[in-house]
Amino acid sequence: MTSAVDHAKAAMIAEHMELPEKGILPEQQQHSNGDLQLINTIGEIRRIPIPSSDPDDPLNYSKWRKLGILVCCCWFSIFSLVLVGGLGPILGVFIGLYAPTGRTVQEVVNLTTYPSLVMAFGRFTSRKQNS
């Protein structure tokens, strides 16, 4: 009976694979560029970064949950950009709707300016500060 590791090995096609030598201390090993030792000494594929045992660790999420998060982020991004950038082409319609109510053209143009300004300001205030 073959295991999942054997199936994963059979599915991989590698031109070159280096395995760690037994008995060599980490400080004695040659410098690696990060693509070495992806299979450990007993033949299991190493998962990098290593998921924790916490069920709320995103690395432990099911495939459908990860896909759902990705779709939600894309959906939000698309509609945020459409909301801000999509007002320009229909600005004439807004001017026609708001002009009879006594609004000036500048006030209507501010409908497209302020959301862009707030998004840009939010980007700079949400940056992670290095301590």
* 131 pLDDT above the threshold of 50: no
The count of structural domains within the chain is 1
Q: Is residue 1 part of a domain?
A: yes
Q: Is residue 42 part of a domain?
A: yes
What's the whole-number mean pLDDT along residues 107-112?
85
Average pLDDT over the chain, rounded to an integer: 76
Q: Is residue 124 part of a domain?
A: no
Q: Is residue 25 part of a domain?
A: yes
pLDDT tens track for 67-89: 999 999 999 888 877 776 777 78
What's the domain range around 20? Answer: 1-48
Q: Is residue 31 part of a domain?
A: yes
Could you tell me the two tokens for 23?
Answer: 């008995």
Q: Is residue 69 part of a domain?
A: no
Q: Is residue 62 part of a domain?
A: no
- Which of 7-21, 75-89, 102-116 is the most confident on average? 102-116
Q: What is the pLDDT of residue 6?
A: 58
Tell me the CA end-to-end span of the chain in Å, nearest whole number. Answer: 54
Q: What is the pLDDT of residue 112?
A: 79
In three-state secondary structure terms, 46 is coil
Q: Is residue 104 part of a domain?
A: no
Sign of CA dihedral 121, 126, 128, 131: positive
